[in-house]
Amino acid sequence: MGSDPSIPLPRIVHLQDYAAVLGEAEISLLRSLAARLGGRTVKMVNSTSVGGGVAEILNCMVPLLQDLEVPTRWDVITGGNDFFEITKAFHNALHGAPYESRPADFELFLAVNEMNRARMDFSEDIIVIHDPQPVALVHQREQEKRKKPWIWRCHIDLSNPSPAVWSFLEPWVSKFDATIFSSPNFSRKLSVPQNLFFPAIDPLSEKNRALEPEYVASVLERFQIDPRRPILTQVSRFDRLKDPVGVIRAYKMVKKYMDCQLVLAGGGARDDPEGGEVLAEVREVAGNDPDVHVLELPPWSALEINALQRASTIVIQKSLREGFGLTVAEGLWKKIPVVASAVGGIPSQIIHKQTGMLVHSIEGCAFQIRYLLSNPAVMQRLGENGHEHVKANFLITSSIKSYLVLFILLLEQMKS
Ligand code: UDP
C-alpha cells in the first residue's frame, strides 16, 4: 500500500481464517495460483480510498493478496473538485444520463490524469486501473520499454453510454491488454479481450462478519431505531442513481397499511461531489416523520452498517442504474431478504422469488415489501437462499482467484 495518507492502513488478514467458510481445498488452490506468480508485484489504482463499492473491494482484496505473497500496492489518484465534478458527469453519462459535451472537460480530465501519471511510480509487474477516472494513466504503458500487463477493471454499467463520453474514453480503453466487466450486458465492442468477473464481498470484514446481538442492539439504540417494529434499510451513497427519494416514496406507500421504519444510511465518497445536494433533497422529502432515519455516516462506519443491515427486516436497493450493487450481496450474506431493482448487476445476485425480489418501480417496490412483511416464512427462505447464492458466487476469494488466473495468463502471453 502506498504512503498516500488518504489510503487507510492495511488490515492484517490471514487467508487461513477463510478456510472455515470456503474449505481447505479452495485455500490451497488460491495459494498454488499465487505461487505461480513467483513474487510478481501488482499495482491497483482507483479514484477514492473510501466510499463506494470499488474502495470496499480494494480494502478487502489488497490485504488478502499480500497474505498470498503477491505484493500489491494500492494507489489513489488525486484531483480537485473540478476534476471529480467532470468524472461524476462522465459516470452519470455512461449510465445513460444526458450529457453536454465540453472540450474543456476532456482537456482537464487528461491533464489531471497526466499529472497523476507523472507523480506515480509504475515499477510493479502488473497494473490494474479501476473505472474511467484514472483510465488515461495507461499512457504510461507506451512510455515503458518493459512489456507488462495493463488491465482495465470497469465496475460500471456501460450498456447504454453517452456516445460523446464513450467515444472519448474508448481509445484509452483500447490501449490496455485486457478489460474486466461485471456483467456480460455491460461489455462494449472493443479491440481488446474482455473478461467477466463478479464483484464480491469479504465475509470476515467488519462490514460482513458476524456480530454480537448486544452490539446490534446498541447501534439501534444509538440511532433511536425501534427494534420491535419492522426496519427497512437502504445503505448507499446519497446519489440520485440510488433513488433514495424513490425509497422514501415506497416506504410511504407501505406505511399506509403497515407499521414500519425506514433507514437510509449513507456517506460521501471523495469522487462523488453530488452527495450534499442529494442528501438535502432526501431530508426534505423525508420531512419530519420520526420513523424515517436519514443517517449520514462517516467512512469508518463498517461495523455500524453491518449492524444496521443485520437488524433490518428487509434490505432495499432501489437503484435506477447500478454497477454491481455490493449492498445487495451484503444483505443476502446476512440472510436478510432483499428487495432491489432489476438493473445493472443486481439480477445476477437476485433470482426473482428465489434469492430476493426484483422490482421495476416505486409501486413494485412497495408491493413486494408489503408482501414480504406479511409472509415471514418467505422472508426466511429468501434469506437462506440468498446466503448460499453469495457463498457460491460472490465472495472475495472467488474474485481473487479470477484475478490470479488472469495475471498468470497475461504474463504467459507476454513471454511468447
Ligand atoms: N457504503 C459504505 N458507507 C456508506 C455507503 C455505502 O460503507 O455510507 C458501502 C456499502 O456498504 C457497499 C459500498 O459502499 O459496500 C457500495 O457499493 P455498491 O456497489 O452498492 O455501490 P457504489 O457506491 O459502488 O455505486
Task: Give me the CATH number covering residue 155.
Answer: 3.40.50.2000
Residue 237 alpha carbon, nearest atom of ligand 1: 5
> Is the same domain home to 271 and 370?
yes
Residue 15 pLDDT level (bands cut at 50, 70, 90): very high
> Is the same domain home to 40 and 26?
yes
> Is the same domain home to 69 and 153?
yes
What's the gap in Å between 52 CA and the centre of ligand 1?
Answer: 4
Look at residue 205 and tell me if it is in a domain: no
> Is the same domain home to 188 and 219?
no
Residue 11 has pLDDT above 80, yes or no: no
SS3 339: strand
> Is the same domain home to 229 and 362?
yes
Round to whole Å and give the CA distance between 331 and 341.
Answer: 14
Write down the mean pLDDT value for the chain: 94
> Is the same domain home to 304 and 362?
yes
Give yes or no for residue 63 CB within 6 A of ligand 1.
no
Residue 2 pLDDT level (bands cut at 50, 70, 90): very low
Q: Which residues are registered as beta bridge partners of 109?
A: none
Largest Cα separation within the chain, whole Å, is 68
Q: What is the pLDDT of residue 6?
A: 46
> Is the same domain home to 291 and 406?
no
Give, using CA atoms, the residue closest to atom 24 of ligand 1: 53
Instruction: Provide the whole-model pTM.
Output: 0.92
Neighbours of 332 (CB within 10 A): 28
Q: Per the structure, how many domains does the chain have? A: 2
Q: Which of 49, 237, 274, 332 to mutate to test the pocket of ligand 1 (most atoms within 8 A of CB)?
A: 237
DSSP state of 51: S
Give yes or no for residue 326 CB within 6 A of ligand 1.
yes
What mean pLDDT is predicted for residues 244-266? 98
Q: What is the pLDDT of residue 5?
A: 41
Cell of 129: 486501473
Round to whole Å and give the CA distance between 223 and 214.
Answer: 14
Look at residue 7 and tell me if it is in a domain: no
Q: What is the pLDDT of residue 200?
A: 93
Look at residue 133 and tell me if it is in a domain: yes
What's the gap in Å between 142 CA and the centre of ligand 1?
Answer: 34
> Is the same domain home to 315 and 171?
no
What's the gap in Å between 327 CA and the centre of ligand 1?
Answer: 6
Which run of H or E residues covers position 258? Answer: none
Q: What pLDDT digit, counting tens, does each position of 310-362 carry?
A: 999 999 999 999 999 999 999 999 999 999 999 999 999 999 999 999 999 99
> Is the same domain home to 233 and 315?
yes
- Which domain covers residue 317, as residue numbers? 213-393
Q: What pLDDT digit, counting tens, does each position of 114-167 carry?
A: 999 999 999 999 999 999 999 999 999 999 988 999 999 999 999 999 999 999
Give yes or no for residue 73 CB within 6 A of ligand 1.
no
Give yes or no for residue 330 CB within 6 A of ligand 1.
yes
* Contact between residue 73 and residue 44 where contact means Cβ atoms under 8 Å apart: yes
Residue 58 has pLDDT above 50, yes or no: yes
Cell of 175: 490501449
Cell of 336: 436478510
Neighbours of 215 (CB within 10 A): 13
> Is the same domain home to 167 and 220?
no
Residue 50 pLDDT level (bands cut at 50, 70, 90): confident
67-81, 182-196, 266-280: range with highest mean pLDDT = 67-81
Give the amino acid at 330: E
What's the gap in Å between 51 CA and the centre of ligand 1?
Answer: 6
DSSP state of 273: T
What mean pLDDT is predicted for residues 178-198? 93
Residue 85 has pLDDT above 50, yes or no: yes
Look at residue 97 and tell me if it is in a domain: yes
What's the gap in Å between 414 CA and the centre of ligand 1?
Answer: 36
Look at residue 238 and tell me if it is in a domain: yes
Give, using CA atoms, the residue closest to atom 17 of ligand 1: 53
Look at residue 208 and tell me if it is in a domain: no
DSSP state of 356: B
Give yes or no for residue 351 CB within 6 A of ligand 1.
no
> Is the same domain home to 265 and 362?
yes
What's the gap in Å between 319 CA and the centre of ligand 1?
Answer: 12
Residue 241 alpha carbon, nearest atom of ligand 1: 25
Which residues, 6+ apart, have CB-to-CB distance to 50 below 8 Å?
A: 8, 267, 269, 270, 299
Look at residue 206 and tell me if it is in a domain: no
> Is the same domain home to 45 and 122?
yes
Residue 266 has pLDDT above 80, yes or no: yes
Look at residue 3 and tell me if it is in a domain: no
SS3 78: coil
Q: What is the pLDDT of residue 339?
A: 98
Residue 1 has pLDDT above 60, yes or no: no
Residue 155 alpha carbon, nearest atom of ligand 1: 24
Buried b (16+ CB within 10 A) or exposed e, 388-397: ebbeeebbbb
Give the amino acid at 29: L
* Contact between residue 114 and residue 139 where contact means Cβ atoms under 8 Å apart: yes
How distant is the alpha carbon of residue 234 from its chain centre?
Answer: 14
Give yes or no for residue 324 CB within 6 A of ligand 1.
yes
Q: What is the pLDDT of residue 10?
A: 58
